[in-house]
Amino acid sequence: MNFLAHCLIGAEAGRLQPARGPLIAGGFLGDFVKGTIPTDMPESLAIGVRLHRRVDAYSNRQPLIRVSCERFPAPLRRFAPVFVDIIADHVLACAWSDHHDASLDVFTGDVYDVIESHRDWLPEPGAEFLDYARDTDLFARYRHWSVIERSLHSVARRIRRPELGAEVAAVSVELLDDLTKDFDAYFPDILRHAREWIGEHGQPFRVR
């Protein structure tokens, strides 16, 4: 799962709770807080980071996500999980009203504020990325394919295979309908799993 999906999962997993901000913030921090969670991190925020890790572990075993990855040509398949995560945020953003009551723009604005309130727990790269995401409303702009295409090119550069950028962007357009159908099938299951995990392990977010 990518940034927008993780934040939504945090919001939905804590839907019955009066204060679910730490779960949303943890959905973002989970990409930047590595290794052992600091012992002095507030419990509610630490649970948000653990939820992020749980969702990643669960989604990595999700059969339909594997199906999505296998749709990519063999030369791209090694990196397909990252591509699928990015494209999933596009699919989610384009069908946002099916997943959340508030508009996408309202939700992302609230998300940036929530994460900002936990900024002290972000390492410098995470803080810099938060500033960029907030200043450009990156999460809401995931609904625009041009933003997704730039993200795919960025991944290709990070893995030191910039020549793959154009290819993966073209292939992703061709696969988009199938990847959307996959997402519509696997995302509700991931949400269900996140809610169940919070219900079992999420003190003080235990659902009653």
Calculate mean pLDDT across residues 146-168: 93
Is the CA virtual torsion 44, 50, 56, 58 positive or negative?
negative
Distance CA 10, CA 58 (A): 15
Calculate mean pLDDT across residues 174-200: 95
199, amino acid identity: G
19-28 pLDDT tens trace:
578 999 999 9
In the block, tokens 């938060």 appear at 130
Contact 21, 45 (CB under 8 A): no
Would you list the domain boundaries of the chain?
A: 3-201
Q: Which two tokens stand for residue 153?
A: 């090119």
Instruction: Give residue 47's Cα distance to chain centre.
Output: 16
Q: What is the pLDDT of residue 203?
A: 60
Q: What is the pLDDT of residue 86?
A: 97
- Percent pLDDT > 70 in the chain is 94
Q: What is the pTM of this model?
A: 0.92
78-137 pLDDT tens trace:
999 999 999 999 999 999 999 999 999 999 999 999 999 999 999 999 999 999 999 999
Which pLDDT band holds residue 206 (cuts at 50, 70, 90)?
very low
* pLDDT at residue 146 tops 60: yes
